[in-house]
Structures are given as C-alpha cells and as structure tokens.
Amino acid sequence: MARLFSFIQRIYTETEICLPAHHSCSALLLWSDTFVRYPERTMARLDLSSVAPLPAELLRKGTTGTELRSQELVCFHGEPDLERIMLGEGMAGTRVCHGAISEETILEWAWESWRMAVGPPMRQPYGRLIELMNAGCLRGANERDVGECWREELEMPDLARLVDRLWQDVKPFYQKLHAVVRYFVRRRHPESASLIDTDGLIPAHLLGGMWSHSWTSYARSILPHPVDIDQRFHRANWTAIDLVRRAEDLYASLGLERMSETFWNRSVIGNESIVKCHGTAANMYAPSDYRMIVCPPKDGGTLQDYYVTVHEMGHIVYYMEAAKQPTIFQDGTNAAFQEAFGDAMFLAAVTPQHLVRLSLLDSKHMAPDSDASNGLDGTLNSFDYAFLLRVALTKVPTIPFEYLMDVYRWDLFDGSVNYGQDVNSYFWYLLEGEQGIRAPSVVPRDALFDAGAGFHLSDNTPFVRYFLASFLSYQIYEGLCKGSLYGTVRANPVNEIPMPLHRCDLYGSKKAGKLLRKALAPGASVHWTTVLEQLTGEVNISAASMLKYYAPLIDFLDRFIDEHQLVVGWTD
C-alpha cells in the first residue's frame, strides 16, 4: 500500500506538462506540441485521438515518446503553475502563446492536459489501493470499508446524512451564485456562449481553478468597485515573510502564542524551488517545533495567499495550545475542527476594519452609502457587497466539490459503483448533478480518471473534514464575535451582534482569545460537541451562521436574478 501511494503521489507532485520553448502558436499545434514529463524524467506526447490508461510498468521503463532536452522545454507543474493559469493569475507570464491564442483555448489546454497526464496512470493503482485499504478496515466479523473508517474518526453518528442535510441547506445559495456567474460566463466567453444554455451546465474550465472551485475572477463583472482587494494585496508587495508576520500578528493580538524560533528557522516560507508546494502545517512533536510550507509568488501575494497563510497558521496555533496534552491528544478535537479554526480566523482577518488596519482599504469605505439609488441596503456601502461577493465566489463554490469528493469515494469504497467501467462516468454524474458543471468536449472521458487530478486523492486525505469546516468556521466566527462583545456565547436576544456579521472585528479581543484558549487547550481529549458548545453555545453543526454572514449578498443576488430574469438551477 505504501509503495502504491508513493507511486500516485509522485505522479501528482512530479509530473509536468511541457511545451517546446519556441513552439508554433495555434490552437491545433498547441496540442500537438504538448508533452508530459513523468517521474524518472520519462517523456510522452499527449495524444488527443487515443486516451488510454498508462500502465505503471511503462512509466518505470520509459515511454516511446519523443525525447527532448530539458533546456528546450517550458514545463508546468499542476501546483502551482497550471493552477495559477486556471485562476487567471499571471496569464501573460505563462509563455503559453498569450495573445496569440484565446484565453478559452489556454484554459481548456491547461485543464485537459493535466487530467490526461496524471489521471490514467493513477487509475489502476488506485483501484488496487481501495482493495488494500478495505482489507485494513476489517474488524473481527464486521465487514467494513475504508469509508466507514474515515467517517468513524469524526465521531458523528450518521455522518452521511448530516453532510447531505448541510449541503441541501446551502445549495439554494450556491444555485443563485451559479445562475449569476453563468450569465457572465456567457458574456465573457463568446466562443462558448452558444454552447451554454441559459439553464445549462457551465464548462468546468471557464469558472476558475483546476476544480472550478474559485469563481473570483467574475466578481468585478458582477459588482464593479474601484477597490480591488487582490490588486491592493499585490501592490502592497508583501514578501512571504510579510504575509506570515501579519498572520501571526492577528493571532497574537488575541493573546495567543507567537511562532517559535524553530518555526522561523525550519519552515519553508516562499521557497518556490520545491516541487510540492501545497500549503501545509506540521507538528513535529518536539518542544516548540512546528513548521509550515507556504509559497506565495515572489511578485506579491493575493488574498488567496493570505488565506492559505492564516489557515495553515491556525493549525499550528491549535497544536501549540494543545501541547500540554499527552501526545495522542495533541491535535484538534477532530479533523474538521482543525480545518475550521484557521478558516474562522480568516473571516476575522478580512473584516473591513482589519483591512483598513493593514492599509489595504481606505477608512472612507467603512461609512454607509449616502446614495440609496443603487438599491443596496443603506446601512452598508458598495464595498461591503463587492467584498462579500469576492469572498463568496472564493469559498462557496468549494462546498459542493468537498461534498462530492467524499460521496464519490465512499461509493467506490463500499462497492456501490463498479470501479472498472464506471469510475469516471460516475464522477461526472455527481459533478453535473450537484455542482452544475460539465467537462469540455475535447477528449472522451471513459478511459480517464479525473478525480486523480486533485491533490487530496493522491494524498489520501478525506474531504469531508473540509466540507464540515466550511460550516463550522462561520459558526465559530459568530461565536467568537459574541464572546468578544458580551463575554458569553449563550443564545440571548440581548446578545445579538449589533452589526452585519462580516463586520465583526476580533483583532485585539482578549475575550475572544480567552475563549479560544479554553476550547483549544484540551486538544483531542474532549468530544467535539464540547468544543463546539464552548465556542458557539450550540452542539449541532449548522448552515445558519454562514447564511447570516452572506445575508446582504443573498438579497443582492435575488434582486439581480429578478431584474435579469435568470434561471436558477440547471438541466443536463
């Protein structure tokens, strides 16, 4: 099992998509000039006419593809290179014929070539891994599969039903965002507009990110505003160390511990030379030894880079607060809380007040709009709506994908889906039905293994923790706001937050810090419901805080949909 996981992890982290440094710039030749460099430096030409799984033996022996010297190639890893292309970051610097070929063609090439390269060699080994993992989850006479083992770790009875309920609670909000973004996808991409029905699925490569999980680039089209926070971050020209220092300052302002000397000496911060540069935090289980990997670009980070930094530092702060526990308990009360804490702190890191504090926003954008003719709530201003939209387009589209990645794997693990013939068709059945997206029509999909193109499958990390964290983070943030204002999280009409939730500034709140230290210090030694009750006054995970956070935006979407007579939902 270890050998197989090592194999598919290397496929994900070391595979590169390559082009000749001086290739001809046309859509057809872009594909004919595309090569894949696999681990062990073997090369293969991508063939659009015949897509078939590459056996592991072929990769070990070398392929018959054209051999090209490394100095003649421009090569791209999946992360961060192709992901940045898919997010629209630095398209001009990609050297993929920018300007000579349409943006749609480049996006389709990046999206499809990565899946064609890494999915097929993972397909057969992953099927064998499922057999081995299932065998490891057998206990006595109980016939269990690895999905049950994963769900058991979270200590949530009937987790599958809880996950489905939470998704159904937030799905109407997602569908409204989808309807509005579909309207602007059709306007931005005229080449594809005729292929996208007004009530249809959106081509996956046109939305943003390798998994259609970040729709941020459409924010300025939907709600134009003179303040672009991503541009403000970029112009601030913060180094990677600057980003980490500002994240540390946020946590320290609440009275939480600062990072150790070992952290600063041994973390990988801003080193773009490493191959695997996926944001990571680690507890080394030695005194004060906590480390982090974050690799924002050298030419200035974005809001997304700030998010990754704040999120990963949240893991480390949790480790530090639980350090007095026996080793087995020096973790979050469960994996979902580990993910949720940093996300809750990110919501505090991007309040308008804190953005003013970071010199990223002028204080005039804190005042209500005097002009009510724009149809917006007069207690807020246009920046509030533009920024809520920016955050929503980044965070909300991840929710269905987090949901589907584990529903998909659970069904593979328990045998509900025939792995051999249905492994990819079932994946797209889920994405089309729940996420409202479809694959481009470049290549047939039956022989591919598109789920393997994501980091967390090759890393064998359950996704449900991130899905639950998406809801918990808003609950924890609201609880910390109440604790900061009133010293208690208990439900009480008198204790309602007297401002829109996204404007609750936690910076410097020792009350919120005290609440956190009490909740985090027990680590995994207490049940998650105890921690949730301490932080929120509730014992159930709910979508209510998330929907409260975005309430002004949801009102705006409703008005926009009515005004433009948009269809909410999709048909395939």
User: Where do the domains of the chain lie, and which CATH numbers do they carry?
Assistant: 13-120 (no CATH), 157-235+334-571 (1.10.1370)
Q: Which one is catalytic: 77, 225, 234, 456?
A: 456
Bridge pairing between strands 268-269 and 437-438: unpaired
Does the pLDDT at position 98 exceed 90?
no
State yes or no: 354 annotated in a binding site. no
pLDDT of residue 60: 40
State yes or no: 14 annotated in a binding site. no
pLDDT of residue 457: 92
405 falls in which pLDDT band (50, 70, 90)?
very high
Alpha-carbon span 32 to 47, nearest angstrom: 8
Does the pLDDT at position 48 exceed 90?
no
pLDDT in tens, 165-188: 999 999 999 999 999 999 999 999
State yes or no: 365 annotated in a binding site. no
Nearest alpha-carbon partner for 507 in 301, 264, 227, 310: 310
Residues 57, 138: contact at Cβ < 8 Å? no
For 1-5, 144-148, 209-213, 298-302, which range has the lowest pLDDT when averaged over its residues? 298-302
Phi/psi at 77 (5° precision): -80, 160
Length of the chain: 572
Identify whether 98 is a catalytic site residue.
no
Residue 397, preceding peptide bond in cis (omega within 30° of 0)? no
pLDDT of residue 15: 94
Q: What is the pTM of this model?
A: 0.91
Identify whether 312 is a catalytic site residue.
yes
Nearest alpha-carbon partner for 288 in 249, 326, 258, 328: 258
Bridge pairing between strands 73-77 and 202-203: unpaired
Q: Which residues pair with 268 in a beta bridge?
A: 293
Does the pLDDT at position 65 exceed 60?
no
DSSP assignment letter at 565: T
State yes or no: 465 annotated in a binding site. yes
pLDDT in tens, 220-237: 999 999 999 988 988 898
pLDDT of residue 29: 72
pLDDT in tens, 296-306: 877 667 888 89
For residue 244, the surrounding DSSP H or E stretch is: helix 240-253
pLDDT of residue 298: 72
Does the pLDDT at position 534 exceed 90?
yes
Q: Which one is catalytic: 312, 321, 402, 538?
A: 312
Alpha-carbon span 143 to 314, nearest angstrom: 37
Top mean-pLDDT range of 76-80, 286-290, 372-376: 286-290
Q: Strand order in 290-294's β-sheet?
A: 268-269, 290-294, 280-283
Residue 521 structure tokens = 């210090």
% of the chain surpassing 70 pLDDT: 88
pLDDT of residue 94: 56
